[in-house]
């Protein structure tokens, strides 16, 4: 974050009992940092499951899975979108507890207050992040997300809020989230190519960022237009977090927030792993909201991203590597096949 002044999160926990003050803070800063919202025991149960899968996959140093902070095995570090990463990630993500945690009554009550709506829709596509450490200066693209807004991905309602929560302690250097206070007021920002996990980032040169140490149970809540990023994990352990979107159920919701279109599996195969299968109250719960206004995905942002990656790839711009990898993995042909060809012609990455 060159030239960016980094300050600690504003701790809004003392405002929890005064909804007007809480809302005013969210409107001013575009985010809230709240300590101890989720029960630590519930978060620990999810973390145990995720670490058990990581251990089985060889992602942890042998015989460390039960440690408070088990070190990752640097020889088995893999990154999204590598198939080896996605297979393990899927085993982590399909567990019922991963989904149930983000429906905790304390979170739902808070989101009712913040959205001003009793009927809050929890997006079913919950995001679990398990990020291997990467030493500062290691070769290849950064595994952290760059500065971005959620709106181009999630679309739908302008009133959507994201809840980000760590499954293990995280801080500057171990992957804490960082936000740009008051960055939500300028609408959707243009993007530029970036050597980050997401390949593109908002075209901003921030003066001031907020970040800090976060612990299991803490939550960061921010608007769909608040600029934020994951910071690098240069520690010893996996950086584990969940992020989920909540919106008034009466507002438009984008179809891609409900479906698993870009995955090689569907919701039925997720529920097959759960004891009660599709009889589970969390299975297809969004279909029980009457009159959801489901809107089609606007592909303009995706086309712009693909074209930017392909154009930069044509001129062999090394900055395009990550964006080309993502286009090759997630886009449809012909963009995906062209991206794969251009990737092979890119100069070998330098240390970043």
Q: Which is nearer to ligand AKG, 233 or 327 (CB)?
A: 233
Q: Which is nearer to ligand AKG, 158 or 268 (CB)?
A: 158
Q: Which is nearer to ligand AKG, 224 or 283 (CB)?
A: 224
Give the gyration radius of the chain's Cα atoms. 20
For residues 214 to 243, the per-residue mask of contacts with ligand AKG, x marking binding by CB under 6 A and - elsewhere, is --------------x-x----------x-x
217 and 35 in contact (C-beta within 8 Å)? yes
Q: How far is the CB of 211 from ligand AKG (least distance, A)?
A: 12
Residues 166 and 145: their CA atoms lie apart, in Å, by 15
Locate the DSSP E strands across the chain: 5-8, 31-34, 120-122, 127-131, 161-166, 177-179, 191-193, 200-202, 208-211, 219-223, 228-230, 239-248, 252-254, 293-295
User: Is the four-CA dihedral 170, 82, 198, 270 of positive or negative sign?
Assistant: negative
Residue at shortest CB range from ligand AKG: 230
Residues 35 and 50: their CA atoms lie apart, in Å, by 22
Q: Which is nearer to ligand AKG, 162 or 308 (CB)?
A: 162
Q: How far is the CB of 314 from ligand AKG (least distance, A)?
A: 29
Count of Cβ atoms closer than 10 Å to residue 186 Cβ: 12
Q: Give the pair of three-digit tokens for residue 95.
A: 């567990």
- Asked if residue 145 binds ligand AKG (CB under 6 A), the reply is yes
Residues 77 and 175: their CA atoms lie apart, in Å, by 16
Residues 320 and 341: their CA atoms lie apart, in Å, by 13
Residues 133 and 186: their CA atoms lie apart, in Å, by 33
Q: How far is the CB of 246 from ligand AKG (least distance, A)?
A: 12
User: Among residue numbers 285 through 344, which ones bind ligand AKG (CB under 6 A)?
Assistant: none
Q: How far is the CB of 123 from ligand AKG (least distance, A)?
A: 11
User: Among residue numbers 169 through 188, which ones bind ligand AKG (CB under 6 A)?
Assistant: 177
Q: Which is nearer to ligand AKG, 244 or 339 (CB)?
A: 244
Q: How far is the CB of 144 from ligand AKG (least distance, A)?
A: 6
Interface with ligand AKG (CB under 6 A), residue from 29, 150, 201, 306:
150
Q: How far is the CB of 80 from ligand AKG (least distance, A)?
A: 11
Residues 158 and 247: their CA atoms lie apart, in Å, by 9
Please name which of 123, 103, 113 lies closest in space to residue 246, comparing C-alpha atoms: 123
Q: How far is the CB of 164 from ligand AKG (least distance, A)?
A: 4
In order of 200, 264, 270, 327, the CA distances from 86 in angstroms are: 21, 11, 14, 16
309-323: string of b/e by CB count within 10 Å (b at 16+)? bbebbeeebbbbbbb
Q: How far is the CB of 213 from ligand AKG (least distance, A)?
A: 15
Interface with ligand AKG (CB under 6 A), residue from 9, 33, 59, 164:
164
Q: Which is nearer to ligand AKG, 210 or 338 (CB)?
A: 210
User: Among residue numbers 111 through 140, which ones bind ligand AKG (CB under 6 A)?
Assistant: 129
Please name which of 64, 54, 124 lies closest in space to residue 89, comparing C-alpha atoms: 54
Q: Which is nearer to ligand AKG, 180 or 335 (CB)?
A: 180
Q: Which is nearer to ligand AKG, 177 or 310 (CB)?
A: 177
Interface with ligand AKG (CB under 6 A), residue from 94, 115, 162, 237:
162
Please name which of 306, 351, 333 lies closest in space to residue 314, comparing C-alpha atoms: 306
Size of the site for ligand AKG (CB under 6 A): 10
Q: What is the DSSP letter of 172?
A: T
Q: Which is nearer to ligand AKG, 177 or 191 (CB)?
A: 177
Q: How far is the CB of 243 from ligand AKG (least distance, A)?
A: 3
Binding site for ligand AKG (CB under 6 A): 129, 145, 150, 162, 164, 177, 228, 230, 241, 243
């Amino acid at each position: 974050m060159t030239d960016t002044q980094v300050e600690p999160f504003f701790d809004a926990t003392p405002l929890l009992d005064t909804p007007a003050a809480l809302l005013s803070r969210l409107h001013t800063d575009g985010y809230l940092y709240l300590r101890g919202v989720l029960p630590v025991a519930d978060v620990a149960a999810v973390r145990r499951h995720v670490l058990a899968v990581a251990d089985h996959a060889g992602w942890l140093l042998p015989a460390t899975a039960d440690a408070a902070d088990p070190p990752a095995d640097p020889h088995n570090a893999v990154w999204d979108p590598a198939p080896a990463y996605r297979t393990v990630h899927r085993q982590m993500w399909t567990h019922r507890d991963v989904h149930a945690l983000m429906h905790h009554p304390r979170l739902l009550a808070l989101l009712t207050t913040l959205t001003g709506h009793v009927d809050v829709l929890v997006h079913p596509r919950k995001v679990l992040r398990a990020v291997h450490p990467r030493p500062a200066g290691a070769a290849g693209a950064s595994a952290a997300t760059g500065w971005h807004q959620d709106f181009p991905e999630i679309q739908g309602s302008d009133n959507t809020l994201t809840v980000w929560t760590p499954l293990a302690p995280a801080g500057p250097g171990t992957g804490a989230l960082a936000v740009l206070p008051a960055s939500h007021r300028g609408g959707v920002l243009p993007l530029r190519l970036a050597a980050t996990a997401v390949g593109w980032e908002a075209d901003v040169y921030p003066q001031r960022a907020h970040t800090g140490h976060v612990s299991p149970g803490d939550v960061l809540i921010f608007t769909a237009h608040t600029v934020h990023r994951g910071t690098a994990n240069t520690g010893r352990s996996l950086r584990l977090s969940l992020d989920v979107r909540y919106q008034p159920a009466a507002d438009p919701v984008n179809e891609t927030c409900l479906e698993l279109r870009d995955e090689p599996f569907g919701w039925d195969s997720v529920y097959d792993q759960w004891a009660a299968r599709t009889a589970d109250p969390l299975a297809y719960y969004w279909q029980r909201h009457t009159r959801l206004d489901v809107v089609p995905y606007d592909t303009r942002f995706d086309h712009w991203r693909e074209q930017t990656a392909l154009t930069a790839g044509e001129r062999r711009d090394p900055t395009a590597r990550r964006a080309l990898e993502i286009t090759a993995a997630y886009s449809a042909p012909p963009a995906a096949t062209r991206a794969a060809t251009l990737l092979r012609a890119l100069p070998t990455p330098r240390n970043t």
